[in-house]
Amino acid sequence: MSPKIQTLIVDDEPLARERIRKLLAGAAGIEIVGECENGLEAVEAIRSKEPDLVFLDVQMPGLDGFGVLERLQGQRIPAVIFVTAHDQFALQAFEVHALDYLLKPFDRERFHRALDRARGRLGAGQDADVTQRIGQLLAELKGEPMARDRLAVKTGGRVILLRIADIDWIEAADNYVSLHVGSDAHLHRETMSALESKLPAKQFMRISRSAIVNLEKIKELQPLFHGEYAVILRNGARLTLSRTYRDRLQRLLGNEE
């Protein structure tokens, strides 16, 4: 009897992990060796459990799926099926480098096609160049950080794709951020610092510990007390440039820092 395929599930959403677990329950020859809800847990689990196959969510707060693989470079990398809501650029990159992916939301048939392909590769022996192909994917995605001009936001079991340019401002909410788009606000599980590093620096700027603003959405500035400024957006939102961030003022005024 062939040994079972040791499988790890990585996704920050419990419902997403449950769906993959249920789909795998009806598949022969699969043994689930663990579940992880963030990238750091995934790195440790892959190193300690050495699974044959990983269902790896791309969008996770903090260390995302690509970050997990970067941490593992130079080590044994299992077969990976990416689970993603990424835009067309990333999907094309997966296809160019012959890496399997599931685009959310996926159905049972699409899931089992990806699983069957993974079985075939594992049955024939893991491709000798899989590490190289994953490395090429990471290099390509890192080389085109703004080719992905949308942000995937998980909410209520759905994935909403927001155009980054449409975001007016961003508000901190513990380990989440609130993305303000017009009269709507979308809660996104990511820290301010992690999200700030992904945004185009020429378009977005941090003006306080709890606020990042889209420079294109600013209508006017009003001086307040003690070196602070009110930042008024076109939609009427009123934010505060705190004294700690006064070095950003020249950019807000349209001058170089």
In eight-state DSSP terms, residue 75 is S
Ranges for all domains in the chain classified under CATH 2.40.50.1020: 166-252
Element (H, E) at 204: strand 204-208
- Comparing 252 with 25, the larger pLDDT belongs to 25
pLDDT tens digits, 57-99: 988 877 888 889 888 877 778 888 988 876 555 666 676 666 7
Query: 50, 99 in Cβ contact below 8 A?
Result: no
The confidence score (pLDDT) of residue 147 equals: 43
Q: What is the distance of C-alpha 113 from the center of its chain?
A: 24
Element (H, E) at 220: strand 218-223
Alpha helices of 60-160 — where are they, by DSSP H? 65-72, 88-96, 108-123, 130-143
The full DSSP string for 50-67 is: --SEEEEES--SSS-HHH
Cα–Cα–Cα angle for 242, 245, 249, rounded to 5 degrees: 95
The domain 5-143 is placed in CATH, from the list 2.40.37.10, 1.10.150.120, 3.20.20.140, 3.40.50.2300, at: 3.40.50.2300
Residue 35 has what pLDDT?
Answer: 96
- Contacts of 169-172 with C-beta under 8 Å, sequence gap 24+, read 169/211, 169/212, 169/213, 169/214, 169/217, 169/233, 169/237, 169/239, 170/195, 170/204, 170/211, 170/212, 170/213, 171/210, 171/211, 172/209, 172/210, 172/211
Q: Which residues pair with 172 in a beta bridge?
A: 177
State the Cα torsion 45-49-52-55 to the nearest 10°: -20
Fold of 166-252: OB fold (Dihydrolipoamide Acetyltransferase, E2P) (2.40.50)
Instruction: Provide the pLDDT for residue 163.
Output: 86
Between β-strands 229-233 and 204-208, what pairing exists: parallel, antiparallel or unpaired? Answer: unpaired
The string of pLDDT tens digits covering residues 169-221 is 999 988 789 999 998 999 888 888 878 877 888 889 999 999 999 999 999 98
Residues of the chain with CATH 3.40.50.2300: 5-143
Average pLDDT over residues 215-233: 88
Gap between the terminal Cα atoms of the chain = 68
Q: Which residue has the higher pLDDT, 234 or 244?
A: 234
User: Which residue reads 């788009």 in tokens?
Assistant: 181
